[in-house]
Amino acid sequence: MAVRQLLRRGVSGGSPLHPLRGLFLASQELGRRPLSLAAAGDKAAELRAAREDVRQLLKATSCHPILVRLGWHDAGTYDKNITEWPKCGGANGSLRFEVELKHGANAGLVNALKLVQPIKDKFPGVSYADLFQLASATAIEEAGGPKIPMIYGRFDVSSPEECPPEGRLPGYSFIFSHPSAAGPPSPAEHLREVFYRMGLNDKEIVALSGAHTLGRARPERSGWGKPETKYTKDGPGAPGGQSWTSQWLKFDNSYFKDVKERRDEDLLVLPTDAVLFEDSSFKIHAEKYAEDQDAFFKDYAEAHAKLSNLGAKFDPPKGISLE
């Protein structure tokens, strides 16, 4: 079945979004052979061309927030305690499969996949894993954020059976609907449980939280936020939802300022946002970022790059730089 038909159906069955499964699997096998220097150069050129198409997509659709989320949610399933690839999860392109797209924390991400699929079709040599991370990093940069020190050459998983189990991503709806005998975790416990499992620390948790300067929460997807506010009622894009910041397509440190001050009822503050200024360890970094955007950008760029590499298997092993 053609890709366009699959996408119109909202992604069908367990099949990867590729028009010819046999050719896809064959290309996967060929892709496992080590790249020559010439081949690596060709791959870099293809990635640069794909990046330019992502930039044009961002200009045309203002889809920065959902592309950031796409890359994060593909990588954020990583479990440092599992050594076997791809059981460890992480940035391996598994989010293109319906079984993972249906995870509660991934609500709405099929729309991100529809946006980038034409770029994948145009550049078949770029893996889904690379495309998701390329789109995410480029969205940050094009929104005014820092340059992310990215590398590429990630392998894709080849079947939906290799998708990670549900429950590895942050999500309060999931947490509070599955309480333990001791009750639900506190916001700080929840953040640490999720991000420590990935191998991230408190500074990286706070820095990455700053990406909420982009985007909106939609109650029909996450269960959080207002249906619309004065900042979101006219879009851009589909109107509605509640943003964390007034300029929710601009990447800066305003998230930390707004969460700290809480002066505007039209701006969203989740329990996991508020705790950044309540927990003693988180607060050190949140206060710093509210005052010093350069410090935030530096730490964010490092944390984003680290997240994008979690669980990834590269060819060549040291990855491909586009700079």
Just list the catalytic residues. Answer: 73
Task: Answer whether 90's CB lies under 8 Å from 82's CB.
Answer: no
CA 289 to chain centre: 21
**What gap in Å lies between CA 185 and CA 199, rounded to an integer?**
19
| Contacts with 302 (C-beta within 8 Å, 6 or more apart), sequence order | 149, 204, 207
CB atoms within 10 A of CB 195: 20
CA atoms within 13 A of residue 128's CA, in its CB half-sphere? 26
DSSP H helical segments within the chain, as ranges? Answer: 3-8, 21-31, 37-61, 64-75, 98-101, 109-122, 128-142, 172-177, 187-198, 202-209, 219-222, 254-261, 271-274, 280-291, 293-309
Task: Answer whether 109's CB lies under 8 Å from 101's CB.
Answer: yes
**What gap in Å lies between CA 76 and CA 287, rounded to an integer?**
25
**What gap in Å lies between CA 229 and CA 268, rounded to an integer?**
10
DSSP 133-200: HHHHHHHHHHTT-PPP---B-BPPP-SGGGSPPTT-S--HHHHHHS--TT-PPPHHHHHHHHHHHHT-
CB atoms within 10 A of CB 291: 13
**Degrees (nearest 5) of the Cα angle 128, 131, 135?**
145
Residue 90 DSSP code: S
**What gap in Å lies between CA 6 and CA 106, rounded to an integer?**
18
